[in-house]
Structure 1
Amino acid sequence: MTSTLERANSTISLSTPSTMKAAIVTGPGTITIQEVPVPEPGPGEVRVRLTGCGVCASNLGPWSGPEWMQFPTAPGQLGHEGWGIIEAVGPRVSGFEPGQPVTTLFQNSYAEYDVGSAEEVVSLPMELSEMPFPGEPLGCAMNIFRRADIRAGQTVAIVGIGFLGAMLTRLAKKAGADVIAISRRPCALETAREMGASRTIAMEDHSAIVEQVDALTGSRFCERVIEATGKSWPLDLAGELTGEGGRLIVAGYHQDGPRQINMQLWNWRGIDVINAHERNPATYVRGMREAIEAVLSGRLDPMPLITNAFSLSRLDEALNATRDRPDGFLKAVVRMP
């Protein structure tokens, strides 16, 4: 039997190969799959044999090849929505054992294995061990929902219905809010209705949208508005839909430069503006744990929202689908060999 002292100073692992397949982005819009050494966990780290990894829209900036991007990437880099099985436990790790199903916040998960801090790992119950579970976006949805402070009886507008917007629609509806979903794609609006939105509006004409929400709310507009696109115009729209003393929650990832906003309107209406992006891993882990509870309880069901699955060798197609958003697309995941 392994003693506590031995465990504190040694790596415990299952049998593993010496090499793995990993995706490397070699230039704008191009990848290669290479055989590279399997990483070893250091003190306080675990190695996970990945089952899959979600594809995040934040990858699209680096994928397009901006001047600041350096190619080639490290093996597996950009993948940060992984889930799988703990395969090795490094020294000074407690609470985890080889064989446990987990979801992670690791950063090189477009690969068969990834290594990271045990503090960025969340155990999955056996009921969820067979389903795709990209913990980072699920945790992100829970963190945004918490900071939005949505309550029963409120009118909530969600601007942008993708994977994140659809989950927030469901959470807001379950909280007793009346949800208005606004998106450009008919398939996304249909998804919003399935998630519980009472009204849907096509995101086409700015003034027409404002007029419709004005009429629907008796000129009060919305107590809560969540912008989930990461684009300038929808952010402007979200501000106009927020009622006096309301809360505008910025959930979209704005990665393409500065924004000019109508500060006069924001001042006049006295709205609170929440940047719902987190940087503390512990906050993400909290959200991931809350997401697990929400899925187990039935408040959240991500499975219908994961619409496209690709093999690791087709990561380029997965990224392009995330960029182009073909009809019916909401979320892509990559399945490992």
Structure 2
Amino acid sequence: MTASSPAPLVIGHRGASGYRPEHTASAYRLAFELGADAVEPDIVATSDGVLVVRHENEISTTTDVADRPEFAARRTTKTVDGVRLTGWFTEDFTWAELATLRCRERLPKIRPSNVAHDNTEPILRLRDVLAIVDERSVAQIRPLRVVVEIKHDHYFRQLGLDLVELLLAELQATGWADRPEQLIIEAFELGALSRLREAGVRARLVFLAERIGSPADEVAAHEANHGYKARSYAWFRSNEGLDLLATVVDGISVAKWNIIRLNALGRATGTSDLVQRAHDRGLLVYTWTLRPENRFLNLRFQTSVHGAEWGDWRGEFALVLASGVDGIFVDHPDIALAARKERP
């Protein structure tokens, strides 16, 4: 990390999503106002190939689409990466149509204060987020970063929408194609990252690994050729998997539960050796998502049965930081910075 961005990198997860509905302009601006080093937009595509910023391509829980009678007929059921979903999907809308929708809080029961901001801001394109990063970099006189997450790469390719190609074009059009110190790209599918590497993208590439299951492109390869065994996310975290990743990407991003070591009762007792094993192979390690609410904390750090109340977040944050991770995804950048400052 540079002097202006000490380790670990504090990344505003979909902006400052603890204080504003995720993926809104106000969430991204607030993340930087609170001191975040970077923000993380998730990208999916519209029917006309525009990269929009949504956590998922199914948008019924994060927009007002369900209340829009003109789009009622778009409600449908699809299987996305093996999961059957019913709702409204970005790929069934043009950008002009999506631009008329307004964002809503995804976790209203956990973050009721965010609901006050519902229906006040439009969906953003990736280029809108990049413009905000540029704006705040100038204002803060430091090069802020963006962590672009590619969502459902294989799924969209099957629809004729190549997110890698669309992203490369977007980076070129926005002036972000030559900013390797500011740009990080991550994906749950190694194939997407390999194609970016082959295309010569100038960015730090990070492989996302879920706790369980296998990447969608691995499952698809197995279905196309039953002689091929899909590699699991757990395999990618093994020494053999990390050896492979070190030849393709710059880092790995894992759930905090892969960093925290648990006892038989599920209580945190320390940290795993994953960070050290990855570092031994020259890989950076990021982790997600550090949140203060009891619902999201390990049992050891929960202070009540009320999920929306804040528990001993300082204890859990300190434990994760002690593992030596290089980056943390957070919904509340201000408290993450406080934890980083308090780190021994």
Q: Provide the TM-score with structure 1 as the length reference.
A: 0.31
More strand by percentage = 1
Higher CA-based Rg: 1
